[in-house]
Structure 1
Amino acid sequence: MAKPPLILASASAVRASLLKGAGLDFEVADSRLDEEEVKRGFAGRDDAADTDALALELAVEKAAAVSRGKPQALVIGADQILSCEGKRYDKPKSMAEARANLLAFRGRPHILHSGVALVANDAVIWSHAAQAHLTMRDFTDDFLDDYLAQAGERVLKSVGCYQLEGPGVQLFERIEGDYFTILGLPLLPLLDELRARGAVLK
């Protein structure tokens, strides 16, 4: 039986790199989802379970948007949201916003909520939510200035304003959670499901 085409419904270079590194053969299609409309449906629902649900809903909607035009494919959708003390954060739109966010995270724990879903024929066939818990150390203002100068606009590509594979690792005193979940794609459960569905070899 032929394997179904596999599509990643994301413009994220990191997610594409993870799937490529795992040896998957896939296409990439940007869903162009209006994320703000989905997020408005979760306004006032700020606890961790609701934020998990929001990450999953965004993942599902991204995959569904692509699936409508590719009915024979298995479409992967994924999304990630950061919450800190009950407040949700998106990717910063400017370096000034990134600095303000990092000051809000400084010395505090935050949660990365990652959702992943598989959609086929515009129907959700599987979804999974995972959390990673990270605590930033109480770094100095001088360190923050130096970090932002080193990292530059790369901080705008992450909800937490960091990449652990770069100088961002120096922001932390504790990290609890799966590495792939931190990067925004819970890869191991996804691979298990793809194997179960014959999309990759067992």
Structure 2
Amino acid sequence: MTDRSEARLILASRSAARRELLTQAGVPFIAEDAGVDEDAVKAASGHLAPAELAEELARAKALAVSRRHPDAWVLGADQTLAFDGGLISKARSLEAARARLSQMRGRPHELHSGLALARDGAVAWSGVETAHMRMRAFSDAFLDRYLEAEGEVLLTVVGSYRLEGLGSQLFGRIDGDYFTVLGLPLWPVLDELRRVGVIES
């Protein structure tokens, strides 16, 4: 087990939500953009199921940063959204986000959050957690208000929604962990960080 005095954690993510979750949990870390071409990873992993793809993306991000910082523990994370038999990616415009949310309202989808922990350029652990989600049949007026309130931040998240704040009103039911929806399933992450000595057991 790594000596806690030498332990160092890098979060391989630009996500503000993931940074906030680790900060609130009292985990010391620094954040660094992995710089991974997600489209290239998806193209090379077309045979994978959505949950497996989320884990593969997390592994790719953890490995990319670990190769630059071999002495650090690196946490990678990513999400995929499975809807109507296909994968949903980030919207490129608010008009596209509106169309996507309109299509998803009143219907179920699955949100997969992949995780990976790497050190010395190798993945030491990885996994995936899934939330089963159903949007309620919200009105066009509510959708317009939501898009106006959130703005272009919705273009940075898969599915064009954030569960925080007003986004909670988009949903009628969620089966799964709240942290999974936010993009960082905290309980398994904390278990692994304790196991390798990054945080106290």
Name the structure 2 match of 1:29: 32
What SS class does the counterpart of residue 13 from structure 2 fall into? coil
Q: Percent identity?
A: 52
CA distance in 1 between counterparts of 2:103 and 2:66 reads 38
Name the structure 2 match of 1:158: 157
Deviation at residue 128 of structure 1 after TM alignment: 1.3
Deviation at residue 3 of structure 1 after TM alignment: 3.4
CA distance in 2 between counterparts of 1:164 and 1:34 reads 26
Within 5 A, what are the aligned runs for 1:1-202? 1=3, 2-43=5-46, 45=48, 50-202=49-201
CA distance in 2 between counterparts of 1:154 and 1:69 reads 29
TM-score, L = length of structure 2:
0.94
CA distance in 1 between counterparts of 2:34 and 2:146 reads 33
Runs of 4+ deviating beyond 3 Å: none
Count matched residues: 198
Q: Give yes or no for contact 1:52–1:115 (8 Å, CA) kept in 2.
A: yes
Q: Give yes or no for contact 1:3–1:200 (8 Å, CA) kept in 2.
A: no
Cα shift readout 1:19-53 (whole Å, capped 9, x = no counterpart): 111111111111110011110123365xxxx1111
TM-score, L = length of structure 1:
0.94
RMSD of equivalent CA atoms:
1.2
What SS class does the counterpart of residue 160 from structure 1 fall into? helix
Question: 5+ residue gaps in structure 1?
Answer: none
Cα shift readout 1:111-161 (whole Å, capped 9, x = no counterpart): 111001000011110011000011011122222122212222222222122
Deviation at residue 172 of structure 1 after TM alignment: 1.0
What SS class does the counterpart of residue 68 from structure 1 fall into? helix
Question: 5+ residue gaps in structure 2?
Answer: none
